[in-house]
Amino acid sequence: MSIRVVQWSTGNVGRHAIAGIAARPELELTGVWVSSEAKAGQDAGRLAGLERDLGVRATTDADALIAGKPDCIVYTAMADNRLMEAIADITRFLAAGINVVSSCPVFLQYPYGVVPDAMIEPIEQAAQQGGASLFVNGVDPGFANDWLPLVLTSVSERIDEVRCMELLDYATYDNPTVLFDVMGFGKPLDETPMLLLPGVLSMAWGSVVRQIAAGLDVELDEVKETVVRLPAPGTFEIPSGTIKEGTMAALRFEVLGMKDGRPVVVLEHITRLRPDLGPDWPQPAGQGCYRVVLTGEPNYTLDMQLLGTDGDHNTAGLKATAMRLVNAVEAVVAAPPGIRSALDLPLVTGRGLVRGSGR
């Protein structure tokens, strides 16, 4: 019996999720929500760039999609600049008895100890009321810093530090809101963007650090942050706009889970808009990668390189986020009601995706 799925939004991640839903033999796409009238009425396949129709028309009618009682909603609407609206959407779905896999809000990947219980309880109550489950994930926060590092720890004798790193050039990530308004690229270095406001890094990626710690049975003493920004040596262009000389062009930050005065779990991002920036900072494998550095006995370094078939590593990152959600739908639908994390789900694989084995 097919699992009935609605895709919520068709942006950078959502359009890849539609393609992923269409590729999975056990999933049936029954609806697509869009925020603009310009997209309403268009076939989902065309919105996903599949060059074929899927027989499902996009709509702005949220009430009708919820009334249709799908088994799961794949929620990829951006929450960075509409956090409370996204939480309200998800809470509504859960209360209606609809399971949700979502790319946001990222702190819900593992919210315990990250945000106040008062933020968690209404969501959990809605899930219990509706008998539905919520799984928030992606590639980062997500697979690159939950299952990937935790699996690597299974071949350790002693663990001193687990460090999860994103080393990516964001120049081809065409999202001006995220790059300029949220992250602060192209802004003066004396201006503090949303991402770097006090506590925001620890809220967004503290879930990563605390989930790994929980998976290793470690109770952290505190979570700290470090930030370094570099200016553009000259004015240059990226698809999202202009980076003027002297404005932020590279960013390095850490979220450090501390135990007994030393970091034991670290999330680190090194984000450039040109490969020559921060030459003394760690460099990616290939065009871009997620790296796990496990210090202990023995020492391990694991690089997961990203590259889309179009030659762009950022395309691969968007697809990875979408497919982490889509491939988890079946497991989330089968999971007990409530907020679920990677620590709760069984192994999720690409079953049915080998060419010729699916539809």
- In tens, the pLDDT along 127-179 reads 999 999 999 999 999 999 999 999 999 999 999 999 999 999 999 988 899 99
Q: Are residues 60 and 198 in the same domain?
A: no
pLDDT for the residue numbered 231? 98
In a domain, 322, yes or no: no
What's the number of domains the chain is made of? 2
Do 176 and 122 belong to one domain? no
pLDDT, position 358: 47
Q: Are 141 and 164 in contact (CB under 8 A)?
A: no
- Asked if residue 318 is part of any domain, the answer here is no
Residue found under tokens 């049915």: 352
Q: What is the pLDDT of residue 78?
A: 84
* Average pLDDT along the chain: 95
Q: Both 158 and 269 in a single domain?
A: yes
In a domain, 358, yes or no: no
Query: Same structural domain for residues 61 and 24?
Result: yes
- The token duo for 135 is 């799984």
The mean pLDDT value for 14-34 works out to: 96
Whole-Å CA distances, 75 to 48, 156, 179, 241, 293: 15, 36, 21, 27, 31
Residue 186 lies in a domain: yes
Q: What is the pLDDT of residues 46-64, one digit of tens each?
A: 999 998 999 999 999 999 9
| 180 pLDDT above the threshold of 90 | yes
> Is residue 355 in a domain?
no
What is the pTM assigned to this prediction?
0.93
- Domain span holding position 66: 3-137+328-340
Q: Are strands 300-305 and 289-297 parallel, antiparallel or unpaired?
A: antiparallel
Q: Does one domain contain both 44 and 118?
A: yes
Name the H helices within 116-183: 117-130, 147-153, 176
Q: How far is CA 220 from CA 45, 94, 107, 258, in A?
A: 46, 31, 17, 6
